[in-house]
Structure 1
Amino acid sequence: MHFLIIMSVLGITNQKATHGTKIDWWGTITLVIGFSGLVYSLNGSSYRLVAFIIAIVTLTIFGYIESKVEHPLMPLVVFKDNQRISALISRFFMLGASMSYFFLMPQALQRVFEFTPLMASISFLPLTVIQFIVSLYIPRLTARFSNTSVLISGVVVDTLGFVLGNVIGINSGYWWGVAFPMIFLGMGQGLIIGPATVAGVAGTSDEIAGAASGVVNTFQQIGGAVGLAFISAMVNGLNGADVIIDQAQFWMVVLAIIMTVAAINILRGKHE
């Protein structure tokens, strides 16, 4: 870790001297504080309201800084295109639901079915194998049906997977209550990830293409953290692993619905 910090400082310093660009330090600091406060406000043990207020204030300051600084960490022009902002929001909530599923379901499999950790990981093969296979066909599908069509199909199928998991319930058994919904989750996620990335950087100029790519990754990482924190807060205090995972999947459906609405919003075209 210390080595990485030292090399990062040296690398950033050299880049600054070569290209004459200044690092957006205040933007970086306010963004880190803002998102950290937001996540803590959802599942912290104390001072959650204070953390939320700090998050709102610092993120507001971050937005102001990005609108004024010469070389912004996150150029606000990225958010002026309807396709990009819709794709970013969709990706944010997709990762929120998916990260929660990948975190909570293995625990439920071990507690409800008494699977070993190894068996719990193997039990995800219906999702991961199908996701891998579907992702191989993305170039052909987008060439034939368009990137937006594939993305919207993916979010619909992914949402269906979460709905099936919630409606059927884990007490119906692994094959019916878990593996069957995983098929749709794998298909949906395989259809989403590539097209969502393309839509997130679509139409960017050479000057902001790198920043737009960074924004896509940021929304993905923060979406997963915020989504997991939110759903963990929603199931906090519940008793029984089956009750917890079923209730968690309900909230995953909620996040997936928002994901779907945001993806469909791409069809509206650009904002004026």
Structure 2
Amino acid sequence: MPDPSAPTTRTPAPRDALHPAAAHAGPEPDRRPRSTAAVLFIACAAQFMVILDVSIVNVALPSIRAELHLSGAGQQWIVNSYTLGFAGLLLLGGRAADLVGTKRAFLTGLAAFTAASLAGGLATDGALLITARAVQGIGGAVLAPATLTLIMTTFTEPAARTRAMGAWSAVMAAGGAAGAVIGGVLTEYAGWRWVLFVNVPIGVALLAAALVYVPATASGRGGLRRLDLPGAVSVTAGLTALVYGIISTETHRWDSPTVWAPLAAGVLLLLAFLAVESKVAHPLVPLAVLRRRGLATANLVVLGMGAASFAMWFLLSLYFQQILHYSAVEAGLCFLPGSLAIIVGAQLATRIIARTGARPLLVVGMALSTVGFVWLSWIRADGNYATDVAAPFVLATFGTGLATMPATVAATSGTDRAEAGLASGFVNTSRQVGGAVGLALLATIASHITTGRLAAHPQDVQQALTAGYGRALLIAAVFTACAALGALAVPGRARGVTS
């Protein structure tokens, strides 16, 4: 699930990869009457849909697996194909408006997302569903930056822009919080396919509204020369190969070509990405920015945070339905306190960061999450939500909410106006990348533990599954503990920006 607090940071209006239209081209004159309220609604609704789909499938996973006869690895790919498509192309998607204009980028991303949602809902096997989810992620990678660019170019007066950004941030939080609950209700009463079909009427309505209300904007200068396609392809392919290799260890030995070949290919592709970024004129990630201690350390913290939290939502969804035998609706409602805890933590961080700076909030937030994950690792096959999950779950998610916005502040502190959005976009990409790799690793570890327990005690299926989930959650605590230690290296001067 995404951390909804990220966009609440009040950084200067950025003009870069995440907000290309603001950087390179203002809106073309549009003689039609324009409703700024309609533009804001369209941008917020589209962003809500993108964020919702990160988490809406989690509760539906057992039903999807049963109907499509998926393996455990296939079940992971339903989540990871979306995350990898989104993360790998997010920065490239941010530059799409520079190439084709904000309106065209918005319409293209929304059309791809909507069509992929329809294809996913109609999927008759796992391969088709996973492919559709990947295309959803790619569409989201183009659509999400365009929603924010629309706001930045539509609301130019500072007070109006602040209000618009507040609405956009609130929708982000609502999307993250509502995903599991909406997914549970749809799965229980309409079937799992509706967690994808639900996007279709919304997407069609938004496409029609955008054609009428969203003003045409000029494409940016530079055209294809500014689009780092080699960088985007190499980083996305590298991450996908790495995740595939990790997941393959569930059914193959480490010395099998099925494991080491994609792992080696992933490493080589990521090295190729670094080489490309050092050579091209307009890189997705200018390597010079990584020399800034605040940005580098904040992204390491976010990697650990994403690796732990994405896996937690996945594993707990399985625990609620497979071990505690909750219905999809009950499982979705179980996630609601954690979603609210993220929002509370984010709001608290927003109010006190100007006094404390980013570093203390990062350290405390990740420390609280570590305690929560260790506590969660004690879940029992004969346990229940109230005694085994509720308190540690809220503690872990509150810590995540407390740390997420300060991570963006730490990353963007000290950057000039033209690079603030790039730094913020890099943090969001790191969160998704950490989530994809962390989910692959921790879910695979859980499967290995379960398989080992079943080999010794074939009759104790529930105990074996719970042991796997618990061990994976304990390793998630190692990730957040490392993030807390890494946060100590964040520069102390990284303070929040007040309005």
Native 8 Å contact 2:357 2:493 kept in 1:
no
Which secondary structure does the structure 2 equivalent of 1:137 belong to? helix
Aligned to 1:19: 221
Alignment partners' CA distance in 1, 2:371 and 2:424 = 29
Letter in 2 for 1:266: V
Distance 2:411 2:281 in 1: 23
Match of 1:87 in 2: 298
Return the match for 2:402 from 175, 191, 216.
191
Q: How many residues align?
A: 263
Match of 1:105 among 296, 300, 316: 316
DSSP-derived class of the 1:197 partner: helix
Aligned partner of 1:123: which letter? C
**Conserved 8 A contact 2:377-2:473:** yes
Q: Deviation string for 1:185-206 (max 9, x for gaps)?
A: 1220110111112112222223
Pair 1:251 & 2:251 matched: no
Alignment of 1:65-214 (within 5 A): 65-167=276-378, 169=380, 171-214=382-425
TM-superposed CA distance for 1:134, in Å, is 2.5
Q: TM-score, normalised by structure 1?
A: 0.88
| Distance of aligned partners of 1:113 and 1:72 in 2 relative to their CA distance in 1, 3 Å threshold | same
- Decide which of 266, 280, 291 is 1:55's aligned counterpart: 266
Structure 2 Cα separation of the partners of residues 263 and 147 of structure 1: 9
Change (3 A) 1:98 1:131: same
- RMSD over aligned CA atoms reads 2.4
What's the CA shift string for 1:128-160, capped at 9, x where partnerless?
A: 222222322222210221122112111111111
What amino acid does structure 1 have at the position aligned with 2:346?
A: S
Distance (whole Å) between structure 1 residues aligned to residue 381 and residue 336 of structure 2: 17
CA distance in 2, matches of 1:180, 1:172: 13
Where does 1:203-242 land on structure 2 (aligned, <5 Å)?
A: 203-237=414-448, 238=450, 239=454, 240-242=464-466
Residue type of the alignment partner of 1:49: W
Of 167-176 and 37-46, the range deviating more from structure 2: 167-176
| Greater alpha carbon shift after TM alignment, 90-99 vs 40-49 | 40-49
CA contact (8 A) 2:379 2:466 kept: no
Paired amino acid for 2:354: A
- What amino acid does structure 1 have at the position aligned with 2:239? F
1:225 partner letter: A
d(CA) in 2 for partners of 1:252 and 1:18? 42
Q: Is the 8 A contact 1:82 1:269 kept in 2?
A: no
Deviation for aligned residue 1:176 = 2.2
The residue identity in structure 2 corresponding to 1:19 is R
Structure 2 residue runs without a partner (length 5+): 1-92, 102-217, 252-256, 455-463, 495-499
Structure 1 residue 183: Cα displacement = 2.2
116-125 or 236-245, which deviates more: 236-245
Provide structure 1 residue ranges, at least 5 long, that are not aligned to the other structure: 1-7
- Report if aligned partners of 1:148, 1:195 keep a CA contact under 8 Å in 2: yes
Task: Name the counterpart of 1:263.
Answer: 487
Q: What is the percent sequence identity of the aligned residues?
A: 28
Q: For the residues of structure 1 that align with 2:417 and 2:491, how far apart are their CA atoms?
A: 25
Highest Rg: 1 or 2?
A: 2
CA distance in 1, matches of 2:442, 2:395: 21
Q: Is the 8 A contact 2:445 2:468 kept in 1?
A: no
State yes or no: 1:30 paired with 2:241: no
Cα gap change, 1:134 to 1:209, in 2 (>3 Å)? closer
